[in-house]
Amino acid sequence: MRFLDEYRNRDAALKLAGEIARIVTRPWSIMEICGGQTHAILRFGIDQLIPAGVALLHGPGCPVCVTAIETIDAAIKLASRPNIIFCSYGDMLRVPGSRGDLIGARAAGGDVRLVYSPLDALRIARENTRREIVFFAIGFETTAPASAAAAIQARRENLANFSMLVAHVLVPPALEAILSDPAAGVQGILAAGHVCTVTGWRLYEPIAARRRVPIVVTGFEPIDLLRGIHRCAAQLEAGRFEVENAYERAVRPDGNPAARHMIDEVFEVTDRRWRGMGAIPSSGLALNDAYSGFDAGRRFELRIAPSTESDACMSGAILRGAAKPSECPAFGGSCTPDHPLGATMVSSEGACAAYFKYARSNA
């Protein structure tokens, strides 16, 4: 495990934390975008290693958490139809919509199946030609290539009984929305390394320059995160606002051209509603005209009215970095992983789930 252990080396982590303390002369607020990074920060105590003046804010980097309530409602509606097999990643099954979740739809008789890949949904479509198979295509740019590959393969095989409920979202427009809000107080960004393996980091350069904020592409291990925080803090102290890549072993400037080509072939950019953040222009992907025959929303003429989060749930503020999970009155009481009020307590990448799992009631 040499290639993992070196990124969890205690002495190296303490050295980096000490270097961060040495260069920081004033308080700074840095937001990590990815929910996987949030969990790693809490699991390894990164927030407790760095100086108290460096605040880590948790961003909307959980694709399950930001999927709009009305999209969950659409999924439940589809899953409840008798001739449909609805295929979804496991994290989505317990995310609450306005009136229940996909687990409830399955308990009520819907054929809801957990899959690990859209290719599993294609296999189910081949095996069940008399039924309609709908795949719930969610996620950031990281999972969009797999959805695109499934659509390409379905067209190649002429799988007329396969379609997708598409809810893919894009990171840069969400960053713009957060950074345009002065109340958010975000001064630096730790960009999600796995997203950038697909997109590259060059597309963040205009955002860094326009919003005057350093953006550092970061991985998910303790050393990765501490290196990212160190580079971000160094830029802030020097008054620089650039994009840096602290995840060189995985991320290239232009990402993965083949994956980007598949996304471009199948999808077009569209406006998208984000849970807790509302409508963000040009922040989502939709099937383009060439692949519109695989659009479940069009095929089944879905009409779902917009819905709002429970008043008792602060997940919207948490997703924007405006609040910590421990600040929510429902946290750990009326809202737990067994009985969640919002998506951030359900998902394995949700900030509330991380705080609950690692007992950070006052982090």
- Per-residue CA distances from 30 to 53, 96, 234, 246, 330 (Å): 11, 29, 12, 15, 26
For residue 83, name the pLDDT band (cuts at 50, 70, 90): very high
Is it true that 27-57+174-245 and 64-170+255-299 share their CATH fold?
Answer: yes
Cβ–Cβ contacts within 10 Å for residue 170, how many? 22
Per-residue confidence (pLDDT) for residue 1, from 0 to 100 = 42
Whether 105 has a pLDDT exceeding 90, the answer reads yes
Q: Which of 64-68, 151-155, 298-302 has the highest mean pLDDT?
A: 151-155
Q: What is the DSSP letter of 81?
A: S
pLDDT at 70: 93
**Pairing assessment for the beta strands 267-274 and 278-287 based on DSSP bridges:** antiparallel
Over 90: is that where the pLDDT of 322 sits? Answer: no
User: Which sequence spans correspond to the domains of the chain?
Assistant: 27-57+174-245, 64-170+255-299, 315-357
* pLDDT value at 324 more than 80: yes
Higher pLDDT, 361 or 115: 115
Rounded Cα–Cα distance for residues 255 and 57 (Å): 26
Supply the pLDDT for residue 209: 96
User: What digits encode the pLDDT tens for the residues 155-196?
Assistant: 999 999 999 999 999 999 999 999 998 778 899 999 999 999
Higher pLDDT, 304 or 313: 313
Q: What percent of the chain stands above pLDDT 70? A: 98
* Residue 338, pLDDT score: 87
Which residues, other chains included, contact 88 with Cβ-Cβ below 8 Å and sequence gap of 6+? 75, 102, 112, 113, 114, 115, 135, 136
Q: How many CB atoms lie under 10 A from the CB of residue 161?
A: 18
132: tokens are 């309609």
pTM of the model: 0.93
For range 12-20, the mean pLDDT: 96
User: Fold for domain 64-170+255-299?
Assistant: Rossmann fold (3.40.50)
pLDDT of residue 3: 65
- The class (CATH top level) of 27-57+174-245 is alpha beta
pLDDT in tens, 228-240: 999 999 999 999 9
Residue 93 has pLDDT above 50, yes or no: yes
What average pLDDT does range 117-127 have in this prediction?
98
In the predicted model, is pLDDT for residue 62 greater than 90?
no
Residue 362 has what pLDDT? Answer: 54
pLDDT of residue 120: 98
For all residues of the chain together, what is the average pLDDT? Answer: 93
C-beta of residue 145 within 8 angstroms of C-beta of residue 153? no
259 pLDDT above the threshold of 70? yes
